[in-house]
Amino acid sequence: MSKKNPLECKICKIVFKSKSRMMKHLISKQHMENLKKITIEPLDILNNNTHTTNDVDPFLNKNDISKLKNMDIGDGFDITYKNENIVKCEYVFEEKEHITNTQEDLQNTNDKGDEKRTREKDNKEIIKEEKVETYTPPVITDKQSKIIDFLIKNQNHQQVANKFFQVLQKLPLEDLKGFTTHIISNDDIQILIKQKMIKVFKIYKETLIKKKESGQTLFNNILIDDIVSLIVV
Whether residue 110 is contained in a domain is answered as no
Whether residue 206 is contained in a domain is answered as yes
pLDDT at 100: 47
Residues of the domain holding 160: 142-230
Whether residue 119 is contained in a domain is answered as no
DSSP the chain: --SS-TTEETTTTEE-SSHHHHHHHHTSHHHHHHHHT---PPP----STT--GGGG-TT--HHHHHHHHT----SEEEEE-TT--EEEEE-----HHHHHHHHHHHHHHHHHHHHHHHHHHHHHHHHHHHHHH---PPPPPHHHHHHHHHHHHHTTSTTHHHHHHHHHTT--HHHHTTHHHHHHT-TTS-HHHHHHHHHHHHHHHHHHHHHHHTT--EETTEEHHHHHHH---
Whether residue 135 is contained in a domain is answered as no
pLDDT at 190: 92
Whether residue 44 is contained in a domain is answered as no
Q: Is the pTM of this model over 0.85?
A: no
pLDDT at 22: 87
Task: Give pLDDT tens digits along the chain (233 positions).
Answer: 556 678 888 888 888 888 888 888 888 888 888 888 877 666 555 555 555 555 555 556 677 666 666 666 666 667 776 677 777 777 666 655 444 455 555 566 666 666 666 666 666 665 555 554 555 667 899 999 999 999 999 988 889 999 999 999 999 999 999 999 999 989 999 999 999 999 999 999 999 999 999 999 999 899 999 999 999 88
Whether residue 79 is contained in a domain is answered as no
Q: How many domains does the chain have?
A: 2
Whether residue 84 is contained in a domain is answered as no
Whether residue 117 is contained in a domain is answered as no
